[in-house]
Chain A
């Protein structure tokens, strides 16, 4: 909370104070890497939040299914926040571990081949379209200016890193990335490395 030595500026100080309490990142919280950030944008674009939430509530039914509830600090880099407000499908804060990458790809392509009475729509076009990486650097710069700890070399490398990657791969990288909480960030790295390899092996279609 900023020091308040000018009482007439109480209004602005109170709002920044409010903003600080709600958006201080927790220790070791990493912002999304370039690929996951692109994935997040696809999640927003396709409106996955119309059917899925991405917030575990502090209620027994929730943490029995999806693990510990998040705090504001865990979500400090989410712009915009994509909590969603209806669960027509599961919460996606942490992907279930029993399904591997290949399963998730097929499920995303055509959900009913994996879950016969799923009501989720298929997303075949995500496997045909590739990322262009056009806006990623600008977005990361803006996020950096707003407080996300990106390194400059990361931002410079971002466009070439994501260019040509299938959108579905980026989307799953995003879902995987946030599926672990900030304490186990090394598994995050492992997971994102693995997705890049699997992209090269499996190609763009499942």
Chain B
């Protein structure tokens, strides 16, 4: 398994390409989110085109954010962690290329399929079955590359980040495959193996409460790799990380049931879901606090290095998202919040996820060292825009939920509902304007990032040309 030395450079290129794609998908999906929010506020904007109608674009947007931004950033980090831990370039260059192109193919094909209406109808896993198959293959390729590269390491002991990534690789595969088993009817149509309530349960089990769901382990793995390097400090507690890793892996399997309270599911499964949702609080918070303690309140350095700020904010929002999910796992609170707008929208979770991904992109893109680092001022601005944007979205979602919940369950003396539906729906307008503002902050942040990255890349290529002219190889 020996690879030519210049191959390592090309592997950095793959990581950079993945990171750039992640940035692109993030920007596109956030723009789309702004558009969808605007269409709901001013429905006359709607283009009346089948391919671009709300019901088809909404899943496209969440999928592009979760799989495009989150997934690409995650795969880039997995490759990076493997390479760094093993001190060895990635094995099987063919597979690496397949993973890069395959994952982008998943998102492009999946998005086109959703626009054409070939959705599988499964929450957060709406791509039709051929795309699911491709996704599974890419995931297997990524796992293979990770494990074979890791095999080459000289220090036997695995760093914690690797444990998290292994957990993520296995759990995502397991959940993805189990929840999307179907009987294909045609290339775009399939009938799921499970029916009715069981299908609903598995759909939620897969989508899960996002912070504890699909990618959570991977994202924490990413941060636990990057934090110590960025701060030049060891992780606050290795043991705490390992303990919370195992409890998260064992408990995560049961996440998702909080979305199913007061549903047709049998009582015992709802109770189990509640118990698991509450127990998850401990490892979730431990992970967040462990990371924050690694930063160790060193505010001075945070001001100098806005990337640390970004990582800290991501950890805080991850902690908040865990807390929110735990609150929602308590049955009466869940009943209260399950109102007209549905359960709390996953603004918090998606915010944390997007923030961790973006922080990782800033961390990964400069490898191999760009001669010109990013403008720290722009990173700081991006971080503040992301924080403000997420706060606005989360606040708006809480405001809608609490207000609508109150009205939804208010009954008049004769047992009839006190408020008409349109009165309840109308309360969402102002919070939706706030969400629009929050999403716009995020879009602006992504634009700043694009400008920043483009600048740094342009600078580095001129520098490389200069140095090539100066010292011919």
B341 sits at the interface (CB 8 A)? yes
* Residue in B54, B121, B263, B340 whose beta carbon sits within 8 Å of that of A44 in the complex: B121
* Residue in B59, B119, B195 whose beta carbon sits within 8 Å of that of A78 in the complex: B195
Closest B residue, CB atoms, query A116: B422
B residues 100-128 near A (Cβ < 8 Å) are: 117-123
Given A64-B417, A121-B46, answer yes or no on A88-B196 (Cβ-Cβ < 8 Å).
no
- The answer to whether B117 and A22 have CB atoms under 8 Å apart is no
- Whole-angstrom distance between the Cβ of A65 and the nearest chain B Cβ: 5
* Residue in B48, B55, B266, B416 whose beta carbon sits within 8 Å of that of A21 in the complex: B266
- The answer to whether A135 and B43 have CB atoms under 8 Å apart is no
B243 sits at the interface (CB 8 A)? no
A122 to B50 Cα, complex, angstroms? 10
- The answer to whether B191 and A143 have CB atoms under 8 Å apart is yes
* Residue in B41, B123, B199, B343 whose beta carbon sits within 8 Å of that of A79 in the complex: B199
- The interface residues of chain A, by DSSP majority, are classed as loop
- The answer to whether A47 and B54 have CB atoms under 8 Å apart is yes
A120 to B345 Cα, complex, angstroms? 19
- The answer to whether A60 and B411 have CB atoms under 8 Å apart is yes
- The answer to whether B264 and A82 have CB atoms under 8 Å apart is no
B119 cross-chain contacts in A, Cβ below 8 A:
44-45, 47
- Whole-angstrom distance between the Cβ of A60 and the nearest chain B Cβ: 6
- Whole-angstrom distance between the Cβ of A182 and the nearest chain B Cβ: 13
Q: 0/1 per residue, A126-137, Cβ < 8 Å to B?
A: 000000000100
Given A77-B195, A78-B199, A81-B197, answer yes or no on A72-B265 (Cβ-Cβ < 8 Å).
yes
A150 to B98 Cα, complex, angstroms? 44
- The answer to whether B40 and A22 have CB atoms under 8 Å apart is no
- The answer to whether A80 and B203 have CB atoms under 8 Å apart is yes
- Whole-angstrom distance between the Cβ of A171 and the nearest chain B Cβ: 12
- The answer to whether A60 and B409 have CB atoms under 8 Å apart is yes
A88 to B404 Cα, complex, angstroms? 11
A residues 138-156 near B (Cβ < 8 Å) are: 138-139, 142-143, 146-147
A197 sits at the interface (CB 8 A)? no
Q: 0/1 per residue, A37-56, Cβ < 8 Å to B?
A: 00000001111111101010
- The answer to whether A22 and B196 have CB atoms under 8 Å apart is yes
B53 cross-chain contacts in A, Cβ below 8 A:
46-47, 121, 123
- Whole-angstrom distance between the Cβ of A162 and the nearest chain B Cβ: 15
Closest A residue, CB atoms, query B200: A81
A residues 51-90 near B (Cβ < 8 Å) are: 51, 53, 55, 57-62, 64-65, 69-72, 74-90
B201 sits at the interface (CB 8 A)? yes
- The answer to whether A135 and B186 have CB atoms under 8 Å apart is yes
- Whole-angstrom distance between the Cβ of B178 and the nearest chain A Cβ: 11
Q: 0/1 per residue, B260-281, Cβ < 8 Å to A?
A: 0111111000000000000000
B195 cross-chain contacts in A, Cβ below 8 A:
23, 75-79, 81, 146-147
B345 cross-chain contacts in A, Cβ below 8 A:
86
A125 sits at the interface (CB 8 A)? yes
A143 to B198 Cα, complex, angstroms? 16
A53 cross-chain contacts in B, Cβ below 8 A:
342
A79 to B121 Cα, complex, angstroms? 9
Closest A residue, CB atoms, query B60: A47
A190 sits at the interface (CB 8 A)? no
A118 sits at the interface (CB 8 A)? yes
A81 cross-chain contacts in B, Cβ below 8 A:
195-197, 199-200, 203
Q: 0/1 per residue, B188-217, Cβ < 8 Å to A?
A: 010110111111110110000000000000
A21 to B417 Cα, complex, angstroms? 33
- The answer to whether A142 and B203 have CB atoms under 8 Å apart is no
- The answer to whether B191 and A85 have CB atoms under 8 Å apart is no
B158 cross-chain contacts in A, Cβ below 8 A:
none
B201 cross-chain contacts in A, Cβ below 8 A:
22
- The answer to whether A59 and B341 have CB atoms under 8 Å apart is no
B58 sits at the interface (CB 8 A)? yes
B457 sits at the interface (CB 8 A)? no
A143 cross-chain contacts in B, Cβ below 8 A:
191
- The answer to whether B48 and A124 have CB atoms under 8 Å apart is yes
A5 sits at the interface (CB 8 A)? no
Given A139-B189, A142-B185, answer yes or no on A49-B196 (Cβ-Cβ < 8 Å).
no
Question: Assuming A80-B191, A81-B197, A88-B341, what are 16 further A-B pairs, CB within 8 angstroms?
Answer: A23-B197, A47-B59, A48-B55, A55-B200, A69-B264, A72-B196, A75-B200, A76-B196, A79-B196, A79-B199, A89-B425, A119-B425, A135-B185, A135-B189, A142-B185, A147-B195
What are the 8 closest A-B residue pairs judged by CB atoms, nearest first?
A47-B55, A86-B342, A75-B196, A45-B117, A61-B409, A72-B197, A81-B200, A44-B121
